[in-house]
Structure 1
Amino acid sequence: MDISIVMIRNSFLLISCFVFFSLGFLEAQKTPAIYVFGDSLVDVGNNNHLTLSLVKAILPYYGIDFPTKKPTGRFSNGKNAADLIAEKIGLATSPPYLSLVSKINFNKKNVSFLHGVNFASGGAGIFNGTDPTIRQSISLTKQVDYYSQVHEKLTQQTEASTLQKHLSKSIFAIVIGSNDIFGYYNSMDLQKKNTPQQYVDSMTSSLKIQLQRLYNNGARKFEIVGVGPIGCCPISRLKNKTECFSQTNLLSIKYNKGLQSMLKEWKLENKDLISYSYFDSFAALQDIIQNSISYGFKDVKDACCGLGELNAQFFCTPVSSLCANRQDHIFWDPVHPTEAAMRIFVDRLYNGPSKYTFPINMEQLVAI
């Protein structure tokens, strides 16, 4: 074969490979990182580093279906929403913030948080002190405080325009509010001081303050998850003869309505420089419960792992009753969904219709 033809062919292959690689790299760079804030639905191990916290997923059977088959600090039998969202985008799960700062000197110049960080904490709420002090968790305010420290570190490591571009393309996921609503109905003091509407109005106004703090420190793309029908969790069903506890669900509906209104106003106040996707987890879970058989679930009321009525009178421990097939259950323990149920939620969150996502879904958010 003529050597010139070989050289031309090889050059063409080299150029094709380079173009293919470049396009793949650019595609991956649509979302360079995910910064996660929230509660136990997205905690990937932060609570393991809280000395005083009793809210830790550190015992079997947590993690029984995780790749390692061991407890990881996730309140699930396997992967949780933070893992599954990262999978959808094509990124590794953002590591727990406290694991990063416990292993390295925060002041070292070579420490980077550019690949994403998870600040979520089991038991956390929008309000400070959602859980009793002895159960120590990281409130949303504190989580945003930690992010502010990360942002300050990033400004020292990265040129300003490069950092702003990175953060503007990153996803800031916020999954919180359930513990605040649980807290309201578990506290006579809160109920005496606040009507349900006053309470949820305070929740949305407090959340808005924290969202604005994130915006002020570079965040532009937000994935916001509403509160689900937590009155249908096994632990809530115990209050109503195994049926969904309607009072809790009604408060969730009030909060979600206020949250959607707040997000629209907040976007306008920031001159439409914000992009967000709101996920209606309430509608998504209700649909799964009402059409459980079509989704492959045989049990919509009982926890897979626990003790007592509905397996919901005590949390999952090595002495708990464990269901044989986690794919059959919507709920893993008294309050958390199984990985199987969570996968359906994340599918809808990522590319679901307007019935579940507003004003766009996460796939569209990533593409902006």
Structure 2
Amino acid sequence: MGNRVMLGSSFLFIIFFIFNLAFLEAQVAPPIYVFGDSLVDVGNNNYLLLSIEKAILPHYGIDFPTKKPNGRFSNGKNAADLIAEKLGVPTSPPYLSLISLVKNNKNSSFLDGVSFASGGAGIFDGKNDLQSIPFTKQVDYYSQVHEQMTQQIGAPSLQKRLSKSIFAVVIGSNDIFGYFNSKDLQNKSTPQQYADSMVTSLKVQLQRVYNYGARKFVIVGVSAIGCCPALRLKNETECAVEANLLSVKYNDGLKSMMKGWQLEKNDIRYSYFDTYAALQDLIQNPSSYGFAEVKGACCGLGKLNAQIPCLPISKICFNRQNHVFWDPFHPTEAAARIFVDRIFNGPAKYTSPINMKQLLPL
């Protein structure tokens, strides 16, 4: 009788253990693979020896846990950090930092997520790729990572893992800045033609990422570019209308392309985030979100703190929580937190057809 009780208890314990193991496995957050520009760069540019596109000077990182510059173009955490924070996982490390470990014969794995994002990167390849890692090259790096992961765990296991992973893409702003900084580009194409070519080029690279196993995408549209301090400065403190119109044209094309692509590839799931609408909401209703300054940068010099970029000699605002913009181009951590909360939770006003939370495994 005693043995039966013991056997029954052991059996129940095993069932309970297996159930909990399965539950915990189901709750494990998926790896995040990040592609993009300075809005999500977590240090890749620090490894580009000839690049001047680096956030390595004070006052960058002043509100980061280390209180030091760390390659993030922010006073604190950026969107990549905050997305990882939502999932309860470490920030995906910079690809070039992992390559550095491999070269020094130290253990390194790409299976838990990687960031390929690079400050200054665009959808189009730049004239000087020594300054940043353009989107095409970021995808090239991912193809190499895919090959190494395949060797590590085999193709079937890797595909199963990647099908649950999140692929975040935050890019396009620098291409729009580039258009308005180049008379040659403006002479060659209308804003609509340029926006269309951005979307076409982006799809080519997304298809490559898909071919290497990606199935779940977080696609972030560009913000109201004309409302950043640098462009307000050129337009006497008002938002630059032409830049905002190009942003809208690109975002409309991007949304249309993603809908069509999903019809072509019915195993794709994605969440599009309307950064433009989210930023406009902060600018038009600042007090509702605790902001007092929506035009000027927190760190910089001159009019709107945007005539000279954020340097050690720059003026820096005392309260970074009430500024939307940290420097002439980038949001503060406070603004980024609001954006990421909407990326993750919605509502439908900002995310379509679903939000990031709905992309996660059940």
Q: Can you list the C-alpha shifts for 1:48-96, whole angstroms capped at 9, x where unaligned? A: 0001111100011100110111111000000000011111122210000
Map 1:164-175 to 2 at 5 A. 164-175=159-170
Task: For residue 360 of structure 2, give the secondary structure of its aligned residue in structure 1.
Answer: helix
| Residues 1:143 and 2:141 are matched in the alignment | no
**TM superposition score normalised by structure 1:** 0.93
AA in 2 matched with 1:297: F
2-structure distance, mates of 1:36, 1:81: 10
Task: For residue 204 of structure 1, give the secondary structure of its aligned residue in structure 2.
Answer: helix
- The CA RMSD measured in Å over matched residues stands at 2.2
Corresponding position of 2:268: 274
Corresponding position of 1:346: 340
Unaligned 5+ segments in structure 2 are none
- Percent identity over the alignment? 67
Task: For residue 123 of structure 1, give the secondary structure of its aligned residue in structure 2.
Answer: coil
* Structure 1 outlier segments of 4+, above 3 Å: 2-22, 108-111
2-structure distance, mates of 1:9, 1:76: 55
1-structure distance, mates of 2:314, 2:17: 54
Task: For residue 53 of structure 1, give the secondary structure of its aligned residue in structure 2.
Answer: coil
The alpha-carbon deviation at position 38 of structure 1 amounts to 0.2
AA in 1 matched with 2:219: I
Unaligned 5+ segments in structure 1 are none
- Contact 2:101-2:107 at 8 Å conserved across structures: no
Corresponding position of 1:283: 277
The alpha-carbon deviation at position 22 of structure 1 amounts to 3.9
- Contact 1:55-1:135 at 8 Å conserved across structures: no
The alpha-carbon deviation at position 20 of structure 1 amounts to 3.7
How many residue pairs match? The answer is: 361
Corresponding position of 2:62: 64
AA in 2 matched with 1:104: V
The alpha-carbon deviation at position 340 of structure 1 amounts to 0.4
Corresponding position of 2:351: 357
- Contact 2:271-2:352 at 8 Å conserved across structures: yes
TM-aligned CA distance change 1:4 to 1:306, over 3 Å: farther
Corresponding position of 2:191: 196
AA in 1 matched with 2:264: E
Corresponding position of 2:257: 262
Q: Could you tell me which of 283, 297, 301 is aligned with 1:307?
A: 301
Corresponding position of 1:37: 35
2-structure distance, mates of 1:253, 1:367: 32
The alpha-carbon deviation at position 152 of structure 1 amounts to 0.8
**TM superposition score normalised by structure 2:** 0.95
Q: Can you list the C-alpha shifts for 1:302-321, whole angstroms capped at 9, x where unaligned? A: 10001111001121111110
TM-aligned CA distance change 1:109 to 1:333, over 3 Å: closer
The alpha-carbon deviation at position 159 of structure 1 amounts to 2.0
- Contact 1:52-1:134 at 8 Å conserved across structures: no
2-structure distance, mates of 1:227, 1:365: 21
The alpha-carbon deviation at position 111 of structure 1 amounts to 4.0
